[in-house]
């Protein structure tokens, strides 16, 4: 392959002269700039290493404190669990204590509501908050008085007559009835 140089002579001389060595003054600025950048990078690296070392010491201190406090933390957790179990037991005991006197209060209040010439045949709680009462009497008016007494009582609410029918009992004409009502045990008895 043949090469032909078509550049004028001045251009040719300048191109050949550009490979001349640089003077010392021309290198000072780039070297100083490079040195400054190297110093900034070295300072940043040193600062980051010191920060990492400081954080590693802090982590080690916190882990040592955590290991030292682990028995106390476990004891506090165990005591909290025991307290929760104790609160649960106390709640059950409180509920039993309240239920212990509820039946007595209920029967006492029911006895107070029974008018003369009315006899109860049965009384039963359904689900703890509903009461069904069956009985006999000589008149519907006595049944009405009984229902009114139950309505006035703080332990009974929503008194409803389910059945009232004529019947015979030992050669006497009687009214057999069945009443249902709600029990409100949280109300204080009179």
Question: Per-residue pLDDT averaged across 138-158, rounded?
Answer: 91
Sign of CA dihedral 84, 90, 96, 102: negative
Tell me the whole-structure pTM to 2 decimals: 0.50
What fold, for 114-183?
A: Alpha-Beta Plaits (3.30.70)
- What are the residue ranges spanned by the domains of the chain? 114-183
User: What is the percent of the chain with per-residue pLDDT over 70, rounded to a whole number?
Assistant: 87
Cα separation of 43 and 49, whole Å? 10
Residue 155 pLDDT exceeds 60: yes
Measured CA to CA in angstroms, residue 6 lies from 10, 12, 15, 16, 79 at distances of 12, 9, 13, 15, 99
**What's the pLDDT score for residue 119?**
92
How far apart CA 158 and CA 108 sit, in angstroms, is: 19
pLDDT at 18: 55
Pair 177, 143: CB distance under 8 Å: yes
Contact between residue 45 and residue 53 where contact means Cβ atoms under 8 Å apart:
no
Spacing of C-alpha 155 from chain mean position: 34
Task: For residue 173, give every residue at least 6 positions away whose Cβ sits within 8 Å of its Cβ, in sequence order, or none.
Answer: 138, 166, 167
Cβ contact 171:136 at 8 Å: no
Mean pLDDT of the chain: 85
Which of the four pLDDT bands, split at 50, 70 and 90, describes residue 14? low
Among residues of the chain, what percentage have pLDDT more than 90?
A: 48
């Amino acid at each position: 392959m043949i090469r032909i140089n078509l550049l004028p002579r001045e251009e040719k001389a300048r191109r050949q002269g550009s490979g001349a060595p640089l003077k010392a003054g021309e290198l000072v600025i780039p070297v100083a700039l490079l040195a400054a950048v190297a110093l900034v990078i070295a300072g940043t690296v040193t600062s980051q290493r010191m920060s990492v070392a400081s954080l590693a010491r802090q982590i080690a201190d916190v882990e040592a404190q955590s290991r030292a406090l682990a028995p106390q933390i476990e004891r506090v957790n165990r005591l909290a669990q025991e307290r929760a179990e104790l609160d649960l037991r106390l709640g059950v005991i409180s509920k039993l204590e309240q239920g212990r006197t509820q039946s007595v209060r209920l029967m006492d209040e029911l006895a107070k509501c029974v008018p003369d010439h009315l006899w109860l045949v049965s009384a039963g709680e359904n689900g703890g908050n509903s009461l069904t009462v069956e009985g006999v009497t000589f008149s519907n008016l006595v049944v009405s008085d009984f229902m009114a007494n139950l309505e006035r009582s703080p332990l009974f609410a929503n008194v409803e007559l389910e059945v009232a029918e004529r019947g015979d009992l030992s050669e006497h004409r009687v009214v057999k009835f069945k009443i249902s009502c709600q029990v409100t045990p949280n109300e204080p008895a009179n």
